[in-house]
Amino acid sequence: MIIRSKAPLRISFSGGGTEVSPYKDEYGGVVLSATIDKYAYGSLRRRDDRNVAVTSLDYDIVAKYNLDVEMNYNGELDLVKAVIKNLNKGYKQGFDFFIHSDAPPGSGLGSSSTMVVALIGLLKHLQSLPLTNYEIASLAYHIEREDLGIKGGMQDQYAATFGGFNFIEFGPGLGLSNVVVNPLRIDAGVINELEYRLLLCYTGRTRLSANIITDQVEAYTKKEEDVLKAMEELKRITVELKNALLQARLDDFGRLLHEAWINKKKMARQITNETIDALYETARKHGALGGKILGAGGGGYLLLYCEFDKKHVIAEELEKLGGQFVEFTFDHHGLQTWEVRS
């Protein structure tokens, strides 16, 4: 028997960065996001011994471990090791892992956190563990941010686990009771129109989000006034974006994306650069009402909301600058696991 899992990557419309500690711990944060039809995948096949073999198709790595030997974190497949350490409690058989993702780390789509969620799903299914979605997301956060010390926020783990359009509130502290995922009931026609009006453009480079997060945290710790004001304004805009989406005011939604991007750029120096600014300004010049770089910034994917009759023009102009466009639709399911006969 083979167990498979998939968890969806996400588009964060607004609020990213407000759910990062220590800002979140004092003021709380909010994020508006939606998952898309790009995924992190995992497969698990049981073995008859105590060995674990991990094949990463993205990095062309095959690594072998033993459940009776300590798995040290050394930069190679540490996410996989950490999931095994946290979840494989007393299971007697080894297994083979096969993992891959539709987007690379540093893309701004939350791929690393989403892979952790997919891996948790495999071991949860294997051992019939009674974990709720909140517990899965919280465990994924613990593994990434606390066990491995990877800097970042909390939104990706919850988006990948729950799926769909969500307005997520992050209160002070790390407990489950301090995170509330509010699923949004949006008319199918509005979702179709949103897909029709959005462009997802790869900027041609990935980035290390931890460096940007470090800059943001340092600016907050120093209580830089413009950074604090930008983060408070970003939370206000995130609420307005949620309301515009629910009320089918999509052109207002597009304009608010622009406002959110203006404030997002104030949170850390590395969030934007000349390449991103050139792509964004060209898009605005040719009919984009708003947009933003996804994730922490610095590279990855640029999301644009376009006037419907200008979308093709914007795509043509950005391709001249090296932009690469990715077709997508929204996903509404979150983490899924299933079995197949080997």
Structure confidence at residue 136 (pLDDT): 97
Structure confidence at residue 220 (pLDDT): 63
Q: Which domains does the chain have, with CATH numbers?
A: 2-186 (3.30.230.10), 188-330 (3.30.70.890)
Structure confidence at residue 221 (pLDDT): 72
Task: Check pLDDT > 90 for residue 106.
Answer: no
Residue 173's pLDDT band (boundaries 50, 70, 90)?
Answer: low
Q: What is the pLDDT of residues 300-319, one digit of tens each?
A: 899 999 999 999 999 999 99
Structure confidence at residue 29 (pLDDT): 95
b/e code 244-263 from CB counts within 10 Å (16+ = b) = bbeeebbebbbbbbbbbbeb
Structure confidence at residue 296 (pLDDT): 55
Structure confidence at residue 90 (pLDDT): 73
Taking alpha carbons only, the member of 142, 295, 132 closest to residue 207 is: 295
Q: Which residues are bridge partners to 270 per DSSP?
A: none
Structure confidence at residue 89 (pLDDT): 74
CB-CB contact of 119 with 68 (8 Å) = no
Instruction: Kindly write down the DSSP assignment for every residue of 320-337, as one continuous string.
Output: HTT-EE----EE---SEE
138: amino acid identity, one letter: S
Q: What is the pLDDT of residues 71-88, one digit of tens each?
A: 999 989 999 999 999 998
Q: Give the residue with greater pLDDT, 7 vs 298.
A: 7
The answer to pTM > 0.75 is: yes
Tokens read off for 305: 């909301």
Structure confidence at residue 176 (pLDDT): 65
Structure confidence at residue 174 (pLDDT): 61
Rg (CA), the chain: 20
Structure confidence at residue 210 (pLDDT): 53
Q: What is the pLDDT of residues 198-251, one digit of tens each?
A: 999 998 766 555 566 776 677 667 677 888 899 999 999 999 999 999 999 999
Pairing status of strand 288-293 against strand 165-170:
unpaired
CB-CB contact of 179 with 171 (8 Å) = yes
Catalytic residues: 156
